[in-house]
Structure 1
Amino acid sequence: MDGEQRRREIMDVLRTTKAPVSGAFLGKKFHVSRQVIVQDIALIRASCPGIISTHRGYIMTQPAYVSRVFKVCHGPGQIEDELNRIVDAGARAVDVFVRHAIYGKIEAELNVFSRRDVRLFVDKVKNHGVKPLTDITGGEHYHTVEADSESILDEVEEALQSAGILIGVE
């Protein structure tokens, strides 16, 4: 594991843990010294000032990501390409939702972080013989997308635009 990947995983640990996480714990988890963790935290803090150090460990005091909602429209055969464009830019597809004329907002969690997640999701849709939410709105739907920076979200926007599926951004 390289340093950049380790720092992303450290961020994931801090995002999902409410209690302070010690440098010693992180060092053991990632098979590096506590001093390497201290250096990693310093690098992370440069782009995410919401991490504080306490006598019991590190705590994330604010979300270390930004989000944007993308309105898109495409056929069922383009789901994999759409989600791959999102994760290839370094972002996460948090959910998918549609706005139905009668039922209002219908939403499903995705939590797609990687091409592997995309493949598993697409396989699940195919293997279970279910239709995606987009079928009830003629392909029009929304994704909440999270990333570590606005520039990554800009890349996602460009990728969806170049695919010809982006309708708008909320």
Structure 2
Amino acid sequence: MKKILGDERRSLILDILKTSNEPITGGELAAQTNVSRQVIVGDITLLKARNEPIIATSQGYLYMHSSSPVVLAERTIACSHAPEKTEEELNILVDLGVTVKDVRIEHPVYGDLTASIMVSNRREVKQFMEKILSTNAGYLSELTEGIHIHTIAAPSEKILDEAEEAMSKANFLITQ
């Protein structure tokens, strides 16, 4: 297979991402364009710099269509727990119909650090956890002794209220 060059490759990457309903890994994009995963990382960076709405999730790259399901409610919640409670925390939220969009910490040196999570169901949570384990990556919250903030989204404020209540019952929520 011939290597696809520059702008033609980035155009193909955009087409692939736009037509997919699932995240696509850098490795998959690399295989489809006959370049290295590192070249794909550079291409994605260039596309993002052109304001293409691409996000990197633990499952791969995702193009955020303006026709994505309408989220009527979104909020941030402050949480604290040990790293081994992460899967339980995420499952509580997704089981209630919540999408966990990201995790954010306030680092004493770097300021706010945010990482996209984008999990909406147990399968995605499992994939996220497997990716953490297989890459031996740490959780951002380990830098702040378990304290972190999530942006959560759901079809209604009622669902977000239920999610906060469940997180409080599980002692994951930081309350004033």
| TM-score bracket for this pair, using the shorter chain length | 0.5 to 0.7
Aligned to 2:98: 91
What amino acid sits opposite 1:155 in the alignment?
E
The structure having more radius of gyration, on CA atoms, is 1
Question: Is residue 71 of structure 1 aligned with residue 78 of structure 2?
Answer: yes
**Deviation (angstroms), 1:64:** 3.7
What amino acid sits opposite 2:165 in the alignment?
E
Q: 1:146 to 1:156 in 2, by over 3 A?
A: same
What TM-score results when the alignment is normalised by the length of structure 2? 0.60
Aligned to 1:20: none
Detail structure 1 runs of 4+ shifted over 6 Å in the superposition. Answer: none
Q: Distance in 1 between matches of 2:148 and 2:155?
A: 23
What amino acid sits opposite 1:152 in the alignment?
I
- How many residue pairs match? The answer is 112
Q: Distance in 2 between matches of 1:102 and 1:131?
A: 18
What amino acid sits opposite 1:69 in the alignment?
T
What TM-score results when the alignment is normalised by the length of structure 1? 0.62
Task: Choose which of 148, 151, 156 in structure 2 pairs with 1:149.
Answer: 156
Structure 1 unpaired stretches of 5+? 1-15, 18-58
What amino acid sits opposite 2:125 in the alignment?
V
What amino acid sits opposite 2:77 in the alignment?
F
Aligned to 1:31: none
What amino acid sits opposite 1:139 in the alignment?
G
Aligned to 2:13: none
Structure 2 unpaired stretches of 5+? 1-17, 20-65
Q: Confirm or deny: 8 A CA contact 1:70 1:168 kept in the other structure.
A: no
Aligned to 1:121: 128
Q: Distance in 1 between matches of 2:134 and 2:115?
A: 18
Aligned to 1:40: none
Q: Confirm or deny: 8 A CA contact 2:101 2:116 kept in the other structure.
A: yes
Q: Which SS does the other structure have where 1:102 is aligned?
A: coil
Q: Which SS does the other structure have where 2:136 is aligned?
A: coil
CA RMSD of aligned residues (A): 2.2
